[in-house]
């Protein structure tokens, strides 16, 4: 129905009838989709998941959300809440997201990684003095502090991936645009942790890759929301 219900990174947006508002403004057909679902469709139609039947897409941006393709269909859940992966608690204590300490998003999203850097190295960084892209660039240049931050974030990322592997048994997990910038440091650490935590057969059956659409993922995802709503790709 295109109604926005309390997204954690858009405070105050509760029960906002976005689809109706845009339709009244532009007098055109409007299709509204969860960003994780739209990203999953984009990679399924045109990216790394082409031909796959069981796919997990993770937004990996300011927060962490997800989109699920299960048995060749977009899975929404009973009340359209499937894929809210950032809400998983992976530690008893830790930074807070969704109002919950130790949630996955608080450790591994773009915001969470910056907070992790500020917490681990307060004499060097604060939350408003460094970005994830800067940490990625420093890590690629061999900066030991930046490497330590991304490796720790990767371990928490891997724990969450292991949960998804054991529950959903996907053939591919695709990480959104942030993973494209972070490079192999965080993904290597995540894969190592995932291998320790998840069932071996599930690990062997699944690839974990950055979004093939790269920086275009947001634009293509928006198009795919309309494509899916009007019958899917030809």
Average pLDDT for the chain: 92
Query: Which of 155-159, 185-189, 200-204 has the least mean pLDDT?
Result: 185-189
d(CA 26, CA 213): 29
pLDDT for res 6: 75
| Residue 234 DSSP symbol | -
pLDDT for res 232: 75
Q: Where are the domains of the chain?
A: 1-32, 34-229
Query: Which of 27-31, 37-41, 51-55, 156-160 has the least mean pLDDT?
Result: 27-31
d(CA 107, CA 114): 9
Q: How confident is the model over 163-197, as pLDDT tens digits?
A: 999 999 999 999 987 887 887 888 999 999 999 99
**Which band of pLDDT confidence, cut at 50, 70 and 90, is reported for residue 62?**
confident
| Residue 152 CA: distances (Å) to CA of 69, 108, 120, 189 | 29, 9, 10, 8
d(CA 72, CA 65): 20
Return phi, psi of residue 174, to 5°.
-115, 130
Which residue in 113, 225, 119, 223 sits closest to 179, CA to CA?
A: 113
d(CA 111, CA 122): 16
pLDDT for res 94: 79
pLDDT above 90 as % of the chain: 72
d(CA 16, CA 18): 6
Query: Which of 71-80, 100-109, 198-207 has the least mean pLDDT?
Result: 100-109
Strands 172-175 and 100-101: unpaired
pLDDT for res 234: 63
Average of pLDDT values for 1-22?
85
Answer yes or no: are the C-beta atoms of 43 and 223 closer than 8 Å.
no
DSSP result, 127-157: TTT--HHHHHHHHHTT-HHHHHHHHHHHHHH
| DSSP helix, strand, coil percent of the chain (3-state; round to 5) | 50, 15, 35
User: Looking at domain 34-229, which of 3.10.180.10, 3.30.420.40, 3.10.580.10, 2.40.170.20 is its CATH number?
Assistant: 3.30.420.40
């Amino acid at each position: 129905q295109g109604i926005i219900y309390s997204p954690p990174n858009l405070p105050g947006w509760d029960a906002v009838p976005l689809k109706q508002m845009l339709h009244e403004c532009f007098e055109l057909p409007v299709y509204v989709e969860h960003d994780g679902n739209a990203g999953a469709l984009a990679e399924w139609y045109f990216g790394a998941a082409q031909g796959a039947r069981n796919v997990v897409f993770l937004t990996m941006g300011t927060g962490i959300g997800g989109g699920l393709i299960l048995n060749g269909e977009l899975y929404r859940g009973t009340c359209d809440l499937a894929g809210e992966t950032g809400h998983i608690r992976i530690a008893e204590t830790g930074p807070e997201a969704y109002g919950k300490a130790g949630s996955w998003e608080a450790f591994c999203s773009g915001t969470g990684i910056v907070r992790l850097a500020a917490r681990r190295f307060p004499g060097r960084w604060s939350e408003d003095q460094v970005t994830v892209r800067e940490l990625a660039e420093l890590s690629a240049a061999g900066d030991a502090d930046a490497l330590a931050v991304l490796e720790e974030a990767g371990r928490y990322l891997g724990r969450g991936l292991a949960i998804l592997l054991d529950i959903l048994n996907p053939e591919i997990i695709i990480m959104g645009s942030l993973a494209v910038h972070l490079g192999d440091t965080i993904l290597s650490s995540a894969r190592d942790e995932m291998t320790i935590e998840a069932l071996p057969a599930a690990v062997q059956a699944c690839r974990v890759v950055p979004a093939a659409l790269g920086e275009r993922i947001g634009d293509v995802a928006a198009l795919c929301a309309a494509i899916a709503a009007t019958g899917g790709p030809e």
